Amino acid sequence: MAQIVVGMSGGVDSSVAALLLKRQGHDVIGVFMNNWEEKDESGVCTSEQDYADVRSVCDRIGIPYYSVNFAREYRERVFSHFLDEYRRGRTPNPDVLCNREIKWDVFLKFALSLGAEKLATGHFARLGGGEAAGWRLLRAADENKDQTYFLYMIGQEALSRAMFPVGGLSKAEIREIARKNDIPVSEKKDSTGVCFIGERNFKQFLSQYLPAQPGDICTPDGRRVGRHDGLMYYTLGQRRGLGIGGGGDGRRWFVVGKDLKNNVLLVEQGEDSPLLYSERTVIEALTWIAGRAPVPAGGTLICQARFRHRQPLQEVAARLRPDGLMDLEFASPQRAITPGQSAVLYLGEECLGGGVIQ
């Protein structure tokens, strides 16, 4: 059987992934990856607790474990881009970039240096195809947990070494396997938020790295209704934390745009504001699972797209432009299409790849 490195986070998904591979007779090594060295608001380094969970899980399963530190690489290749995007007034998705730049590059190379043939993770995704026909990235059996949205930037070389042992299971099935095998983290709650920020106060975190520039909050017709703390703290469609209060027609206020030139946050009342909806968008920085676009330049592909994690798939017409960008036209208007986020394309169960919303 093969030697396999399992990227272990201290959560139940990667723990069960390691258990299943060990049961299949593989030579399994658990590796905890530390990408962020900072304490939370309580003065606790959360990675220390996660690594303690990894150790207890590996002891229970009976596999060796390591801890590796990629904090420098993460800051250089993911976090610096994260800050650049916020400076531009956009809303980036660092988890997508982390998968390409860290997990399926730096971490994969580390796994191979240990002599491993494969790198397994607890991602909810499945593999199809193979060496001859090319590897395909497929949606998970548990559609509510599918994580192919975060994996669309990885390519053929990474997929040829990848394993997703829990991709065919539901979350309930994973927890039940963990319980039956006395895995210590069987009831541990799922982590939320950006990978390196976790559940801390996002505004407080970001203010440590970027200077805030307060400005006016205005309606699209120029009426001033409040003050914002800095455009970087807000995203399209946001309704909480605006500090505007009542007024107007009594409905809630929503962010409908940013005037970067004048440092003005644009808001309007009502979640059905036409300014929150769009019929098309342009995506850049295109990456394709197959290593090539699914349509020739100038051609159009009718497919599905997802503009945020867990969003139901949306019908789109994707046209590849000669300049390397892609136009997406929506079958129905889409709400809060946000610059800096990813648009990921699908044909049925297959994830094709995608790009960043321009």
Q: Where in the chain is the domain with CATH 3.40.50.620?
A: 3-180
For 135, the enclosing helix (H) or strand (E) is strand 134-139
Encode 243-254: b = buried (16+ Cβ within 10 Å), e = exposed: ebeeeeeeeebb
**Per DSSP, what are the bridge partners of residue 353?**
288, 345
pLDDT tens digit string along 44-80?
556 888 999 999 999 999 999 999 999 999 999 999 9
* Distance between CA atoms of residues 232 and 6, nearest Å: 36
With beta carbons less than 8 A apart as the criterion, state whether 21 and 31 touch: no
* The pLDDT value given to residue 120: 98
The candidate with the shortest Cα–Cα distance to 256, out of 338, 152, 348, is 338
| Catalytic annotation, pick one of 58, 98, 218, 351 | 98
Class of domain 277-357 as given by CATH: mainly beta
* Distance between CA atoms of residues 31 and 13, nearest Å: 14
* The pLDDT value given to residue 39: 60
Is 303 catalytic? The answer is no
Read off φ and ψ for residue 257, nearest 5 degrees: 175, 170
Domain covering 3-180, topology: Rossmann fold (3.40.50)
| Catalytic annotation, pick one of 45, 58, 195, 218 | 195
Is 98 catalytic? The answer is yes
For 23, the enclosing helix (H) or strand (E) is helix 12-23
* The pLDDT value given to residue 104: 97
CB proximity list for 277: less than 8 A, separation 6 or greater: 333, 334, 335
Question: Sign of torsion, CA 164 169 174 180?
Answer: negative
Instruction: Return the percentage of the chain with pLDDT > 70, whole number.
Output: 95
pLDDT tens digit string along 134-192?
999 999 999 999 999 999 999 999 999 999 999 999 999 999 999 999 999 999 998 76
Read off φ and ψ for residue 210, nearest 5 degrees: -125, 135
* Distance between CA atoms of residues 178 and 231, nearest Å: 44
* Distance between CA atoms of residues 273 and 357, nearest Å: 21
Q: Would the pLDDT of 1 be above 80?
A: no
Q: Where in the chain is the domain with CATH 2.30.30.280?
A: 211-272
pLDDT tens digit string along 224-239?
999 999 999 999 999 9
pTM here is 0.94
Q: Does domain 211-272 have CATH number 2.30.30.280?
A: yes
Q: Would the pLDDT of 43 be above 60?
A: no
pLDDT tens digit string along 276-324?
999 999 999 999 999 999 999 999 999 999 999 999 999 999 999 999 9
* The pLDDT value given to residue 344: 98
* Distance between CA atoms of residues 91 and 357, nearest Å: 10
* The pLDDT value given to residue 193: 57
